[in-house]
Copies of this chain bind each other. A is one copy, B any other.
Amino acid sequence: MIMVKILTLENVKKLLTMQDALNYVEEAYKQLTLGNAIVPQRIAITDPAPGLTLIMPGIIGGEMNALATKIVSVYKQNPEKYNMPTVLAKIMVQDINTGDIVGIMDGSLITAMRTGAATGVSVKYLARKDSTVLGIYSAGVQAKKQVGGVYWGLDQKLEKCVVYDLNKDIAREFKKEIENELGIEVEIAEQGDDLLDNTDIIVAATTSTTPLFSGDKITEGTHLSSIGAHAPAARELDSTIIKRASLLAAGLKEACLAEAGDYIIPIDEGIIKEDDIVPIGDIITGKKKGRTSERDITVFKSVGISAQDVAVAKLVYDRALKENIGQDIKF
Give A contacts to B, CB under 8 Å: 1, 6, 8, 36, 38, 40-41, 43-45, 47-53, 55, 57-59, 61, 67, 69, 71, 73-75, 78, 82, 84, 88, 90, 92, 94, 96-101, 104, 106, 327, 329-331
- 5 smallest A-B Cβ distances: which pairs? A73-B99, A48-B61, A75-B99, A40-B43, A55-B57
- 7 CB contacts below 8 A, A to B, read A8-B331, A38-B47, A51-B98, A53-B57, A55-B69, A84-B98, A90-B331
Nearest-Cβ distance from residue A1 to partner chain B, whole angstroms = 7
B residues in contact with A59, CB < 8 Å: 45, 47-49
User: Assuming A47-B38, A48-B36, A48-B61, is B55 touching A78 (CB within 8 A)?
Assistant: no
CB distance from A7 to the nearest CB of B (A): 9
- Main secondary structure on chain A at its contact with chain B? strand
Set of chain B residues within 8 Å of A36, measured between Cβ atoms:
48
A82 near B98 with CB under 8 A, answer: yes
Q: Are B96 and A101 in contact (CB under 8 A)?
A: no
In contact, B100 and A50 (Cβ under 8 angstroms):
no
**B43 & A57 in contact (Cβ 8 Å cutoff):** yes
Out of B41, B67, B73, B88, name the residue touching A53 (CB < 8 Å): B67
A97 and B71 in contact, given A55-B43, A92-B92 (Cβ under 8 angstroms): no
A331:B106 contact, CB within 8 angstroms: yes
